Amino acid sequence: MSDASPTVLFEHPLNEKMRTWLRIEFLLQQLHGHRALSDTAIALTFFRTVSDLLDVLERGEVRTELAKELERQQQKLLQWADVPGVDMSLVEQLRSQLKELSSRLIAAPRMGQPLREDKLISLVRQRLGIPGGCCSFDLPTLHMWMHVPQSERDADVAQWLETLDPLHQALTMILSLIRQSGPFRNQISLNGFYQDNAEEADLLRLRIELSHQLYPQISGHKTRYAIRFLSLDGDHTQVPERLTFDLACC
């Protein structure tokens, strides 16, 4: 695939653990990308994202799964010790980072608990499920908070996000290592369909040229997956008989 052609990257989880991690990453990216709450509309988007994140964290054992993965990544790094030419100082540095992140994650309070106990966040969460339920007469506390100096709101947001740092940093490191574990390889689909073995992978990453105006519909699990390419505008765009794309199995 030509490097000069704009491409779109798609990622698809191959197990429930990775599905949860990608959703948490997606929500954390939104929180950090919309942390300057300059008006009520932006603030409500922020609080809704916080609420979604807390809902996700309440399902399953996120901390336990992340701690296990941090340990697994440390063991994988040890396997590089016998490979000639490997920069062992870099390997040890990464292992040290993983150990530190694991210690911080284990020592942190219950995931999201400080946010659940925050009075303002709790008040807003109670009204989010009601259509139009966050009006100034419904939430005078929020209305007043939106009129305090921007610097005070920024300080509150920074404090809220700081409570998520152990989760954020551990997840970022884990997903970075997983994404780097599988190189992109050129593949060809026939009549818009491609399938292969997953070989106990956690994540599929797929790059396709933007000019095709196609998107992948992916189904799969830890042993096998299938990809069907569909047109963005329905039946108006023909899927090429032989479509070239890049695929990484991580």
Query: For position 229, which CATH number holds?
Result: 2.60.440.10
Last residue of a domain, one of 145, 180, 215: 180
12's tokens: 């698809």
160 and 38 together in one domain: yes
Last residue of a domain, one of 135, 152, 180: 180
43 and 142 together in one domain: yes
176 and 206 together in one domain: no
- b or e along 195-216 (b: 16 or more beta carbons within 10 Å of the residue's beta carbon)? eeebeebbbbbbebbeebebeb
Last residue of a domain, one of 133, 150, 180: 180
> Smallest Cα–Cα separation from 40: which of 117, 138, 181?
138
133's tokens: 């339920």
Domain annotation covers residue 19: no
Per the rule left: phi > 0, alpha: psi between -120 and 50, beta: everything else, 7 is beta
Min mean pLDDT across 74-83, 171-180, 205-214 is at: 74-83
- Give the confidence band of 1 by pLDDT, cuts at 50, 70, 90: low
**Residue 55 domain boundaries:** 34-180
- Give the confidence band of 87 by pLDDT, cuts at 50, 70, 90: confident
84 and 156 together in one domain: yes
- This prediction has a pTM of 0.92
> Are 63 and 105 in contact, with CB atoms under 8 Å apart?
yes
Output the DSSP codes for 178-210. HHHTS--EEEEEETTEEEEE-TT-SEEEEEEEG
> Are 231 and 192 in contact, with CB atoms under 8 Å apart?
no
How many folded domains does the chain comprise? 2
CA separation for the pair 5, 106 (Å, rounded):
44
- Give the confidence band of 198 by pLDDT, cuts at 50, 70, 90: confident
189 and 150 together in one domain: no
- Give the confidence band of 225 by pLDDT, cuts at 50, 70, 90: very high
